Amino acid sequence: MSGIYNNCQKVVAMLENKNIRQTMNFDLAAKAKWVWKETLRIHRRAPETRIASSLSPIEIFVSLYYGGILSFDPKQPYLPDRDRCVISKGHGSISMYPILADLGFFGMDELERVCETGCFLGGIPDPVIPGYETVNGSLGHGLGVASGMALGLMRSKQPQNVFVITGDGEMHEGANWEAIMFASQYGLDNLNLVIDNNGISMLGYTEEIVSNGDLSSRLSSFGWECWEVDGHDVSAVHAALMRSKSTRIGKPKAVIAHTRKGHGVPGLENAALSHILNPKPELLDDLLREFE
């Protein structure tokens, strides 16, 4: 564990130098696997957490935080020079807990106390957690707030980037589309939307509930620059996010990551009701044992 922790301290140092190529030396796939295991461990201890929607965005989070996409200082979470990362799909970001702990936003020991009295890591993350920018989990708010941040940075002539991670079920919220039109109107090219397109909301497949259609063509028709990527191919995700970040052409940008809810857990992966299913503790133990 300490080896990983030290490696990450090195990444942070590299991020401060903004030397992206060096950070690519970091093994993102191994890191994604570690985050997957830690997320299972957290859920094994705290079954109130939403595991399936936390497993689908792991490669996105890992690329952002270990791949040199985001600039940040774990000891100064609100440093003005940081890139802003808004996790709009709150429940589905329990996998952020091990990442933030590993990077030094808070102690690793907090991971042992998720959902316990006195711990700040709850079933749905709150903005009291170091590393979280806004309120998360009440869906459909992140993109609008991120648009305001992006406009503020642009008007203040600041170069930082704003990333916002949403789910695809969350795109049902009309407020998102107000923000999508707004970001396009104001040419917010410092704004990067990443959609964890796992295709499932709480009660089933979004395609059958209220279809989002082709998100890429919808967003394109709203004036956004879009890329689609296999959300579990970490190097492809990394490349897409890097491409998005470096594209400044007067348009907001979106990366649609095609992912699988409950990724890697038999019986959970891509199951219609995966959002509310809790894998049996024995299954989690078996999976964790295999991993060791």
Partner 1 sequence: MSLKPRAMRDAFLERLYLEMKIDEKIFFISADFGSPVLDKIRADLPNRFVNVGIAEQNLINVSAGLALEGYKVFAYAIAPFITMRCFEQIRVSLALLSQVRPMNVNLIGVGAGYSYVVSGPTHQCYEDLTIMRALPSVQVMSPSDHLVAESMFNHCIDNIGPKYLRFDAQVLPVIYENGAPDLYRGFHVHREGKSLCLLATGFMLHTALEAAAELAEIGIEIGVIDLYVISNLDEVALKRVLSSYPGVVSLEEGFRARGGIDSMLFDFLGRMGLTSKMYNIGVDPGYRFELGSRAELHEQVSIGVNAVISQIRDFADSIGIHSKSGAS
Q: Tell me which residues touch partner 1 (CB under 8 A).
A: 78, 126-128, 133-135, 138, 141, 143-153, 155-156, 174-175, 178-179, 181-182, 186
| For partner 1, the closer CB: 58 or 151 | 151
Q: Which token pair is 248?
A: 């400044």
| For partner 1, the closer CB: 186 or 222 | 186
| For partner 1, the closer CB: 25 or 156 | 156
| For partner 1, the closer CB: 43 or 141 | 141
Closest approach of partner 1 to the CB of residue 143, in Å = 8
Residue 228's DSSP bridge partners are 256
Contacts of 2 (CB under 8 A, 6+ apart): none
Where does the chain have alpha helices with state H? 2-17, 20-23, 28-45, 52-55, 58-66, 96-103, 142-155, 174-185, 206-209, 215-221, 234-246, 281-291
Closest approach of partner 1 to the CB of residue 128, in Å = 6
| For partner 1, the closer CB: 127 or 266 | 127
| For partner 1, the closer CB: 70 or 150 | 150
Question: Element (H or E) spanning 253, and its range?
Answer: strand 253-258
Q: Which token pair is 197?
A: 């397109």
Where does 186-278 have alpha helices with state H? 206-209, 215-221, 234-246
Closest approach of partner 1 to the CB of residue 152, in Å = 3
Vertex 285: Cα angle to 36 and 53 (nearest 5): 35
Closest approach of partner 1 to the CB of residue 171, in Å = 14
Closest approach of partner 1 to the CB of residue 187, in Å = 13
| For partner 1, the closer CB: 15 or 86 | 86
Count of alpha carbons within 13 Å of 81, Cβ hemisphere only?
9
8 Å CB contact between 18 and 67: no
8 Å CB contact between 254 and 223: no
Closest approach of partner 1 to the CB of residue 166, in Å = 13
Closest approach of partner 1 to the CB of residue 146, in Å = 6
Phi and psi torsions of 89, nearest 5°: -85, 80
Q: Which token pair is 226?
A: 């879009």
